[in-house]
């Protein structure tokens, strides 16, 4: 009796394998894309660190009543950076700084640091906002931060 050995795969077997690979790719690729966007956005989130630390030092040095002086290019706080190619934009903002007349700073006033992704990034125009609440005694309490698109945080 001759033994007949099957060589290769049938068309049905190949189609089943291609179908399984397609399903795996359909599930994996969007997750991979979000992972890449999140990893790239970390640079934007990290950019707030220098402004955050220097703002806290400024508040400790000047006190809560003089927080209005804790602005960009003053008391060790870095200059405003506008988003550009390869550069994360960072801005310290509050209605305290933008008031037309000198404002009396009090407990509960809010200060925000807004970081914007570089213009040449896949996350261009996406922002990360860190909000601080000023407390008596010069304490500054920060929230966890908010991204303009939750899936990249």
Q: What is the pLDDT of residues 11-62, one digit of tens each?
A: 898 999 999 999 988 888 888 888 889 999 998 899 898 899 999 998 888 8
91-95: average pLDDT: 85
**Residue 146 backbone dihedrals phi, psi, to 5 degrees:** -135, 135
**Strand spans (E) along the chain:** 89-93, 110-116, 127-134, 140-142, 146-147
| CA nearest neighbour of 67 among 51, 55, 81, 49 | 55
| Per-residue model confidence as pLDDT tens digits over 97-137 | 776 666 677 777 889 999 999 999 889 889 999 999 988 87
By three-state DSSP, how is residue 128 classified?
Answer: strand
Pairing of strands 110-116, 89-93: antiparallel
Q: Where are the domains of the chain?
A: 41-152
């Amino acid at each position: 009796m001759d033994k007949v050995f099957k060589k290769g795969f049938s068309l049905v077997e190949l189609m089943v394998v291609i179908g399984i690979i397609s399903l795996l790719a359909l599930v994996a690729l969007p997750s991979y894309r979000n992972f890449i966007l999140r990893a790239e956005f970390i640079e934007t989130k990290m950019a707030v660190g220098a402004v955050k630390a220097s703002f806290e030092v400024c508040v400790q040095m000047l006190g809560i009543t003089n927080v209005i002086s804790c602005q960009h290019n003053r008391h060790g706080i870095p200059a405003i950076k506008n988003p550009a190619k390869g550069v994360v934009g960072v801005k310290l903002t509050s209605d305290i700084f933008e008031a037309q007349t000198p404002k009396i700073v009090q407990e509960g006033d809010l200060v925000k640091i807004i970081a914007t992704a570089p213009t040449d990034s896949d996350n261009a125009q996406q922002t990360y906002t860190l909000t601080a609440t000023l407390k008596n005694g010069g304490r500054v309490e920060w929230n966890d931060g908010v991204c303009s698109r939750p899936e990249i945080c």
